[in-house]
Amino acid sequence: MKPRAKRGPSWTGRHYNRDSERETVSEDLKDEKPLARPPVKDNFVFNAARYTSIAGSLPAGILAGYFIGYALDAWLHTTYLKIVFLILGIVAGFWELIRLLMRDLRK
């Protein structure tokens, strides 16, 4: 049997056995602990980016809903879908805003 070519680590950074057709995690890496998340930076730029994304989530949902409704109104020759999708955009924007705020309050 012809030896297989050596391959480097996979995109996860773990090395795999080359003995079988299936790639299995080598024995010495099975008890390896997963990498911890890096600590949250507590600087001004990081916080500004985080809160800017929170502030932009509500208008983004509203605008997306309005433009989807407008496009459907133009395509289907109706007049009410703009309002329906605007309301759905407002609900989605508030949903995302609450989700982001709850995530930040847990930290």
Q: 73-85, pLDDT tens digit by residue?
A: 999 999 999 999 9
Residue 53 to residue 13: CA distance in whole angstroms: 31
Q: 1-45, pLDDT tens digit by residue?
A: 566 655 555 555 555 445 554 445 555 555 666 666 666 667 788
Residue 65 to residue 93: CA distance in whole angstroms: 9
What residues form DSSP beta bridges with 16?
25
CB 26, CB 15: distance < 8 Å: yes
Residue 16, φ and ψ in degrees, nearest 5: -120, 155
**Counting beta carbons within 10 angstroms of the beta carbon of residue 84, is it exposed (0 to 12), middle (13 to 18) or buried (19 or more)?**
middle
